Amino acid sequence: MSRTEAQRAAKTHNQRRRRRLMAYGQWQPMVDAEPARQHALRLQAGGLSIAAQAAKIGVPVPTLCGLLYGKNPYPPSKRIRPETAAAILSFTPTLDDYPAGARIDATGTVRRIRALAHLGWTSPTINDRLPCSAARTIEQVGRSPKLTVQVARSVRAVYRELSNVAAEETGVTPWIAQRRRNYAIAQGWAPPAAWDDDTIDDPNAQPDWTGFCGSDRGWWTHRLEKIPACQPCQDAHDDWLQERKHLSPADRYRALGVARGEASNRGAAIAEDARELMRLGADYETAAARIGITRNHLQQELLRHPEPAAA
């Protein structure tokens, strides 16, 4: 069979398949390929090859190549199947998905080092726990927008080890640790509790300082905890005020009092309920699920509302 005959046969097969699916009400029209193409191109620019993307997403390499570059003599696909687009757009790579030598965005690594500063960890103490090659490179973190995956993984391993440990507990001089902590606060760096492992490497992600960031309750929590309000919380509070500008001064003042009270009581209740569940054998994930919040939010409230010392 010649190439022309094969193309005709494939076209006839596709037409019959489409008519059959339409008859059964199962036909899904093709969708615009541009969002999926741009997502795949961003992944490629970030160091993830086409073959690696195809393997992780679960689509054939020729399909991805056709989407990005076309198939000679045809241009890149303008429309693709909805299930293919959904698979591509839903894929968010982690550090484990990249080859060790790939160069990726340094944002997540910078955030981890800055978060450790809230616990008193200085760059030299972090370097002492890194492999020699990573320790030499870590001095450049923050100066370059990219670094190797190997370095990012090394910093991630140290971050997981130290993110729940204050530097003073491991022998770091208290005044040095406190000076580092004060510097982190002054710079507005987010602590470990504000980051989730699933989003810390996403350049577009925002730290969740309060567990409610992006809402009016988050703004009040910022205020109660004496933490400068993040932009999402400030925007949410401005919208809250705008929606109630028609109220009388007395009603507006009363509504502000209710909002403040909800923010001040909710966190303590979460911490108390979580500790009771964990006394009964629940772990962090189970306790968070039972209460209806994320693990990250639960850890934040436990830190903000420590258990009272026994008399």
How do residues 104-160 score in pLDDT, each as one tens digit? 888 899 999 999 998 889 888 888 888 877 776 766 676 778 888 888 999 999 999
> Do 21 and 62 share a domain, yes or no?
yes
Return the higher-pLDDT residue of 293 and 221. Answer: 221
Average pLDDT over every residue of 169-190 = 87
> Do 118 and 84 share a domain, yes or no?
no
| pLDDT at residue number 241 | 92
Of the residues 70, 97, 124, which one is the last residue of a structural domain? Answer: 97
Return the higher-pLDDT residue of 154 and 311. Answer: 154
> Do 168 and 130 share a domain, yes or no?
yes
pLDDT by residue (tens digit) across 72-109? Answer: 777 888 888 888 899 999 998 888 888 878 888 888 99
Which two tokens mark 160? Answer: 């997981």
- Look at residue 202 and tell me whether its pLDDT is greater than 90: no
Residue 266, C-beta contacts closer than 8 angstroms, at least 6 positions apart = 217
Q: Would you tell me the crossing angle of helices 284-291 and 295-304 to the nearest 10 degrees? A: 90
> Do 119 and 90 share a domain, yes or no?
no
Of the residues 97, 117, 151, which one is the last residue of a structural domain? Answer: 97
Return the higher-pLDDT residue of 34 and 302. Answer: 34
How far, in Å, CA of 116 to CA of 191, rounded? 7
| pLDDT at residue number 155 | 92
Q: How many domains does the chain have?
A: 3
> Do 71 and 141 share a domain, yes or no?
no
Residue 187 within a domain = yes
> Do 91 and 149 share a domain, yes or no?
no
| pLDDT at residue number 311 | 44
Element (H, E) at 79: strand 79-80
> Do 36 and 66 share a domain, yes or no?
yes
> Do 12 and 84 share a domain, yes or no?
yes
Residue 208 within a domain = no
- Look at residue 267 and tell me whether its pLDDT is greater than 90: no
Contact 106, 146 (CB under 8 A): yes
Q: What mean pLDDT, rounded, does the chain reach?
A: 83
Average pLDDT over every residue of 165-184 = 86
Q: Which residues of 103-139 are buried (b: 16+ CB within 10 A; e: fewer)?
A: bbbbbbbbbbbbbbbbbbbbbebbeeebeeebbebbe
Average pLDDT over every residue of 33-54 = 88
Domain span at residue 156? 103-194
Average pLDDT over every residue of 273-292 = 81
| pLDDT at residue number 2 | 64
Give me the percent of the chain exceeding a pLDDT of 70. Answer: 94
Report DSSP state, residue 30: -
> Do 89 and 116 share a domain, yes or no?
no
> Do 248 and 292 share a domain, yes or no?
yes
Other CB atoms within a 10 A radius of the CB of residue 63 amount to 17
Residue 149 within a domain = yes
> Do 71 and 148 share a domain, yes or no?
no
Q: Name which of 65-69, 150-154, 226-230, 293-297 the model is least confident about.
A: 293-297
pLDDT by residue (tens digit) across 22-37? Answer: 777 766 678 888 999 9
Residue 203 within a domain = no
Residue 199 within a domain = no
pLDDT by residue (tens digit) across 218-252? Answer: 898 888 777 788 888 999 999 999 999 899 988 98
| pLDDT at residue number 306 | 77
> Do 114 and 190 share a domain, yes or no?
yes
Give me the percent of the chain exceeding a pLDDT of 90. Answer: 13
Greatest mean pLDDT range, 37-41, 205-209, 265-269:
37-41
Of the residues 57, 75, 97, which one is the last residue of a structural domain? Answer: 97
